[in-house]
Structures are given as C-alpha cells and as structure tokens.
Structure 1
Amino acid sequence: MKSDKQETQYLDKKQALAKAENFCVYQERSQKEVRYKLVEWGIRGNELEEILSELIINNFLNEERFAKLYTSGKFHINKWGRIKIKQGLKLKGVPDKMIQKAIYSIDDDDYLQALRRLLEKKDQFLVEKNNIKRKYKLTSYLQGRGFERELIQEVLNIE
C-alpha cells in the first residue's frame, strides 16, 4: 500500500549542503527553518552543525539580515504592526536582541501613517452607528493586525 506522502529521501553531507544553499538562496531563511529542513533530509548531530556553520560562514544564512527583511516585508506588504511581527520572528527562532533591533528599524512616522491608513480603510466599511461599538471594532481590528493598544487609542482619540 502506497501512502500519499512522498518517502523521505536522506542525503549525504555534501548533497545536503548544496540543497541547503539553494534553499537559502531562494528566500531568506532563519536558522531554525534551515535546521528543520536539514533534519527532514536526514542530517543530524555534528553534520547538521557543520552545515549550519558553513552556511553562516559563506553568508547564505544571516539571522540579522533575515530579521530585518522579514520585518520590512511584513510591515510594508502585509501591513502588520510591531507586536505581530515580533511574534512571527519569535516563531522563527530569532533571538530577542535581533527582534528588538529589527522591529525598531521601522520608521515611526511610516508606522503611524500605516496605522492611520488601515484605520481609515476599515472605518469606511464599518456600518456600526454606535460610536463606542465602532471604536471597539476598529481597536480589535488594529490589534489583530499587531498594533499597540495605546497607539491605537491615541490615534482614535485624535480623529
């Protein structure tokens, strides 16, 4: 009986390194993602650590670069706030210091402007007439996008 899932193909160290390099070239990756892939390919122990070291030395893998690009993409393309970006980076196994550095690389004026644009866009589609319920819905939406509650309240009170 054949399963729907493809059989796992185990690679030797040289093959795994080449495949990992291609994996990293295709898209910026975190160490955790690459480590997971290597284990999936049957690489463990010292070989795994040696491959990771080789990728770092040859600049295929750079956690700080990954954190900055991830942050930039999630902010500019997905319109995520700092809280959601921070959670995403934590899930990717990025160290806290690099997370802080990356999320605070977002320009404060751009951040505030993005928050206002999202607020205005969502506000146009709300049919709620009660002002308190309307503010609650806007706050919930923006918090879901990862923006800070205090900043949302500040912007809502101005408008």
Structure 2
Amino acid sequence: MKRNETYTLEEATRKLEGYCAYQDRCHKEIVTKLKGMGMIPLAIDTVISHLIKENFLNEERFAKSFARGKFKIKKWGKNRIVNELKFRDISRYNIQTALKEIEGPEYFNTLDNLAKKRLKQITEKNSQKRKKKLADYLLYRGWESHLVYDKVNELVG
C-alpha cells in the first residue's frame, strides 16, 4: 500500500469488510489497519461501528475461534492463549468464554500426546535434564504448570 494513498470512508469500509470476512479479527487489528490507511479517529470509529453492526467484527467470535485454532493447530495451552488474547485487548469475559471452547478430555489428551512426542525428540540422557527440557517446552507452549509437572513426573522416570 502506498503511503500517500487516501481512502474515502466508503472505500475504507468496503476494504475492511473484506479483511474481516477473510478471517475473524479483533478490534485492535482493525484500528491498526485503519490507522495504517491514514484514517482519522472519527472515521475509524465510524467504520468500526459499521463492522460491528453488520457482524463483520465480533470480539467474542474472534476470541472463540482464536482459542480453538491455537489449541487445535499449534497445541497451545490455556496460559499462552490467555496471554495472547490479553495482548489483543480482549475483555476478560470474552477470554473466559473462549476458554470454554477447549475444555474437557481433548485438552488433557493433547497435552499427553504433545509431551510424549516431545520426549521422543529429547536426546538428553540425564533424567533431571530431560524433565527440565520437557517441562520448559510445555510451559513455553502455555500449559498450566501443575499439569506440566504432573505429566513430566509421569513420563520421565
């Protein structure tokens, strides 16, 4: 996008409708995009309220699909998902709602599979170092520490 390119309110609205239709977005992404297009605060507010009214922009829907996607595809735990949603200025209510998308046995099965897969890749012979490497990996992926330590102690002798 050329820096000196300007957009009318109508053009910006259409462009952002497409941006939101392609994948769920959060308010912060939209504001950043509109600022990058050189839109003034009043125009930004106008476009955002239009997107919300027409259901192109829905923060709860964004939070839910973000949580599902990062869990299923990237195998992130709840801590990492919560931190990423907070970074995107998602409300506490919507974060709690999103976490409900990844509860149940599938959550624990994913942790188990991820831990076993990673353990096979760790070549370290010292069991304490193996435990640390596995725990660090799972914690980095955002899994809750009590679950991580239970799993590490279960898998590493």
Q: TM-score range by the shorter chain?
A: over 0.9
SS at match of 2:102: coil
Residue in structure 2 matching 1:12, options 8, 18, 42: 8
Aligned identity (percent) is 37
Q: Is 1:28 paired with 2:24?
A: yes
Q: Deviations over 1:62-95 (max 9, x none)?
A: 0000000001000000111111111111222211
List runs of 5+ in structure 2 lacking aligned partners: none
CA–CA distance in structure 1, aligned partners of residues 122 and 41 of structure 2: 54
Q: TM-score, normalised by structure 2?
A: 0.93
Tell me by how many angstroms 1:45 deviates: 2.0
The 5 A counterparts of 1:76-91 are 76-91=72-87
Q: Which amino acid aligns with 2:87?
A: L
Q: Which amino acid aligns with 1:56?
A: I
Runs of 4+ aligned residues of structure 1 deviating over 6 Å after TM superposition are none
Query: How many residue pairs end up in the alignment?
Result: 155
List runs of 5+ in structure 1 lacking aligned partners: none
Q: Which amino acid aligns with 1:89?
A: L
Q: Which amino acid aligns with 2:126?
A: N
CA–CA distance in structure 2, aligned partners of residues 47 and 129 of structure 1: 61
The 5 A counterparts of 1:33-52 are 33-52=29-48
Q: Is 1:139 paired with 2:118?
A: no
Q: TM-score, normalised by structure 1?
A: 0.92
CA–CA distance in structure 2, aligned partners of residues 137 and 77 of structure 1: 22
CA–CA distance in structure 2, aligned partners of residues 8 and 111 of structure 1: 48
Residue in structure 1 matching 2:59, options 37, 58, 63: 63
Tell me by how many angstroms 1:157 deviates: 2.7
